[in-house]
Amino acid sequence: MDNSKKLSDTSAWLLLVVSLPTQSATARMRIWRAFKTLGCAALRDGAYLLPATDMHSAALQELADECAREGGSAWLMQVAPASSADAPAYALLFERSADFASLIASWKTLAATLPSLTVSELTRLQKKLLREYQALLAIDFFPGESSLEAEVAWSDFKQRVERVLSPDEPQGSEAQIARLDIADYQARLWATRRSLWVDRVASAWLIQRFIDTAARFLWLSKPADCPPQALGFDFDGAAFSHVGERVSFETLMASFGLEDDPALLRMGAMVRSLDIGDGQVAEGAGFEAMLAGARERLPDDDALLAEVGGVLDSLYAHFGRAPARAKT
C-alpha cells in the first residue's frame, strides 16, 4: 500500500457549509455518504472540513453544486488556523487510529473462519476487505503508527488466506536457474500439489503448451508423495519452484528459454501478482475470479486444467497483441 502521497501541510483547509431542505431526505443521505467517502471532518451538522488540495476542491465543489440543484445552499471557502500553534488540532480531526484498530480486529476475527470457507467465499471476502482497507487508506491524510500496524496486519491476513487457498506454498530459494534443453523433457511425468491454484495451473498450462506437449500430470495430496521419476513443480524441493522473486511459472520460463516471448512475460507478471502480491495486472482479478469459480464447480484437477487452459490460451493471444500497460 503506497502512502507516499499523503499530506503534510496543515496550514490550508477547505470548509464547505451546506443547507438542504428538510424534505430532501434521499438527497441528504446521498450527500452525507459522499462527505464520508471523501473523509471529511464534520465540525457540526452541515459544516465539513478537508485538507486543501486541488482534488478535494473539485470534489467539494461538485457537492456544493449538487446541494444547489436540490434546492439548498452551499458555501465553499478556504480557511486557515488563526495561529501556527492551532494547526495540529486541525490534523487531529482526521486521526484514523480507531478506524484502523476496528479493521485489524475484524481481520483477526475473520482469520479464524477462513478454513471453513469455500474458494469463492474466500476470494469474495478478501476482495471486500481489501476495498474497505483501501478506502480507509485513501482518507488517511496524516498517516502514523496505526496505518503501519494495519499494513502488517493486512499482510498477515493475506498470507493466512493464501495458506488456505494453496497449502504448502513454496518459499523462494536463491539457487541459480540452469538453462535446460526442451528435447530432454519430452513425454515426462510432472507432479504438483492438487487443488490447483494460480501458479500451479498456469505452470501446468505452460508445460503442456510450450515445453512438453505429451506431458502427463500427477496431482499430489502432499509434496512428500512425489515419486522419484516425476518432475515436481511449485513446492519446496521440487525440480521447478520459486527462485528469488520468480514464481514457478517464471522459473519454468527461464529454465527453458521462454523469456523472449513478450506475451509469456506478461502472463508471468500476472501470475506473480496473484501468487505473491507483487504489483497489479489489470487482467489478474478476472482470471482469479474465474479460477475460483472453476475450482468450485469442476470435479478434479484434470478437468480444471482443461478448462482453465483454454482461458490461458485466450489470455496468451490477448497479451500477444495488446500493448503493455504501466505497472501500478
Determine what percent of the chain is predicted with pLDDT higher than 90. Answer: 64
What letter does residue 147 receive in the DSSP assignment? Answer: H
DSSP states along 219-264: EESSGGG--TTSEEBSSTT-SB--BTTB-HHHHHHHHTT-TT-HHH
Pairing of strands 47-51, 13-19: antiparallel
| Position 2 pLDDT exceeds 50 | no
Compute the CA torsion angle 228, 234, 240, 244 (nearest 10 deg): -140
Least confident of 64-78, 89-103, 109-123, 161-175: 161-175
Which among 251, 253, 260, 270 is positioned nearest to 318, based on CA atoms? 270
| Position 1 pLDDT exceeds 50 | no
**pLDDT given for residue 174 in this prediction:** 66
Burial 232-244 (b: 16+ CB within 10 A, else e): bbbbeebbbbbbe
**pLDDT given for residue 115 in this prediction:** 87
**pLDDT given for residue 11 in this prediction:** 79
* Residues linked to residue 173 through DSSP beta bridges, in sequence order: 243
Q: Are residues 218 and 225 in contact, defined by beta-carbon separation less than 8 angstroms?
A: no
Q: Using the structure block, give the residue that is written with the C-alpha cell 528435447.
A: 183
pLDDT digits (tens, 9 = 90+) for 255-285: 999 999 999 999 999 999 888 877 778 898 8
d(CA 250, CA 273): 12
- Three-state secondary-structure class, residue 217: strand
Q: Which triple of cell numbers denotes residue 288?
A: 482469479
Confidence of residue 5 (pLDDT cuts 50, 70, 90): very low
- Three-state secondary-structure class, residue 280: coil
**pLDDT given for residue 118 in this prediction:** 84
Write phi, then psi, for 144 (nearest 5 degrees). -140, -150
Confidence of residue 169 (pLDDT cuts 50, 70, 90): low
**pLDDT given for residue 197 in this prediction:** 92
d(CA 37, CA 42): 12
pLDDT digits (tens, 9 = 90+) for 94-130: 999 999 999 999 999 999 899 888 878 888 898 899 9
Q: Using the structure block, give the residue that is written with the C-alpha cell 498450462.
A: 205
Q: What average pLDDT score do residues 56-80 get?
A: 93
**pLDDT given for residue 328 in this prediction:** 38
Domains annotated on the chain, with CATH: 13-92 (3.30.70.930), 97-165 (no CATH), 182-321 (no CATH)
Q: Which triple of cell numbers denotes residue 145?
A: 503508527
d(CA 171, CA 97): 33
Least confident of 10-19, 129-138, 159-168, 202-211: 159-168
Q: Which triple of cell numbers denotes residue 156?
A: 498477515
Q: Are residues 48 and 40 in contact, defined by beta-carbon separation less than 8 angstroms?
A: yes
Q: What average pLDDT score do residues 224-248 get?
A: 93
